[in-house]
Structure formats: structure tokens, C-alpha cells
Amino acid sequence: MEKPEEVSSSKMYGGYNKRYKHFSPTLGCSMTFHIYFPPSSSPQLKLPVLYWLSGLTCSDENFIVKSGAQRAASGEGVALVAPDTSPRGLNVEGESDSWDFGVGAGFYLNATQEKWKNWRMYDYVVKELPKVLSEHFQELDTSRASISGHSMGGHGALTIYLKNLDKYKSASAFSPIVNPINCAWGQKAFSNYLGSSKSDWEEYDATCLVAKFSKFSTPILIDQGEEDKFLHDQLLPQKFEAACKSVNAPLILRMQPGYDHSYFFIATFIDDHIRHHAKVLNSK
């Protein structure tokens, strides 16, 4: 597997934001991702990893530029890894026709429909990217990993975590799409990427999956703004909360008065999420 090319580097809170480019065999195109390397007291001490999955229309840059997560990550000694949200540059007909499907809207699944066969963000995040990191970044310990995300990326973080409890120590999300089979964003994406089989859709729906994979001890942390314009028709946190309660799955759902869907909201509470994950990642 080829070594990623460093595209940019900027110092922040004693560590470095670095952006990389590489060819992804999984997706069939070049991809970019960011890593924030916190300062390390010793080269022998490998850093745990927190993956961040961004939402619709975003790239690997939004979280790194807007969230302010580096301050807490620097203090806790956690590396942040932010991949892009979909394949790019494949020129599939219709890939850029709408903001909520196609480019920038990979939904962290493996598409089964021939036209979208390269949309395999699930395999990219779960399999390829960790392998790239372990092979080329010796300062990272990918065996100590957690996952988080926002909106579509919150959906990705929760579903990936629930299906891979052996690979991730904890999960959290901001404003996640928790029940995509019952909202317009999910129905549009799933029908195009996965076809008409509702059982295939349920494999990428956190509310459906938690009933199957409820045996985790660290609570899932979710922050949701009460003034989020997508709350009642797209995000549906109460559906996931009910599903968790039905199987006694540990969940911390915090409804935050006055907050919306933006990165202002994320920046306000991101330190809590970093500490939530660091507590598990840095435990002996």
C-alpha cells in the first residue's frame, strides 16, 4: 500500500494538523484525510486514535478547521483522524446533482447498486484507512481507537461502532441521523445506494442495529441541539433512545437548549466528547 503524500502541515496546541493524499483501492480514486498529532512526551508512547466522520456536504477539512477539538486532544494525548465523506473525481452521472446524495454524501455504507459500486465508505473507514495508518504512521496505536461524528457522520460513527465493537472502544455523536430508514435523507440515499430491500437498509440504521449489538459497557454519548431545524423530521433521537432503553444499552443523550446543527454547537461541547473517549482510550 503506497505511502500517503503529505499535503500540508500546521502547528496547533503544540501538535500538528497534517493533511494527506493517497490512492484508495477500495474507492478507486484519490482521497484526502487529516490527522492531528498531539505533542508526545516520548516517541515510544504510541497515540490512541479518535476517528471523526463529517456530515453532508463536508470534506476532511471541516472538523479540523471549525471544531477546535485540537485543544482537548492535545491535553488528553489523543490523535484525531478525519477522512473525507465520499469518493471524489469519479464522474459518475448525477453524482453532484444534489447536496444530500452522491459527492459529499457517502453515508458510510457499502453501496450494492452497480452505478454506485465505488461508494464503499464503510470499508474505507473500517478496513482501509486503519491499515494505512498502522503501516505508515508508527506513532499511532490503531488498536486503541474510538469513533465520533456529526449528522450523517454521527450516523456513520454509531453504525460502524455497533457493527465493530471489537475495533472501537467507544462512540459518540453530534446531531446524528439515528433512524435513516424513517427519514427523507436516509430513504433517498439507501434506495439509490442499496436498492429496495429494507433488510439491507436496516444494516446501516443505528436504531435497528442496537437491538443486535447492545453488549457494550461504555455509554454512547450524543449531543443534540433543541433548535436544530432537522431534529424532528431527519434526526429522530427519541427513536434511538427508545431502542437503547428496550435492550438496556447504555446511552447518554443530552438535549441542549438553544443550539442548532452547526459547528458552533460542535465547538461548544467537543471537549466533553474528547474527554469521554480519552478516558477509555487511555485506561490501562
**E strand or H helix that includes residue 220:** strand 220-225
Residues 6+ apart with CB under 8 A from 264: none
CA–CA separation, 162 vs 267, rounded Å? 25
**Cα 110 to Cα 26, 45, 106, 181, 227, distances in angstroms:** 10, 35, 9, 16, 32
One-letter amino acid for residue 241 of the chain: E
Contact 167, 126 (CB under 8 A): yes
Catalytic site includes residue 84: no
- Compute the Cα dihedral for 260, 126, 219, 73 and give only its sign: negative
- Compute the Cα dihedral for 28, 30, 31, 36 and give only its sign: positive
Catalytic site includes residue 199: no
Contact 36, 80 (CB under 8 A): yes
Catalytic site includes residue 228: yes
Catalytic annotation, pick one of 86, 146, 151, 175: 151
What's 93's DSSP letter?
T
CA–CA separation, 132 vs 256, rounded Å? 37
Catalytic annotation, pick one of 22, 24, 228, 273: 228
Active site residues per annotation: 151, 228, 261
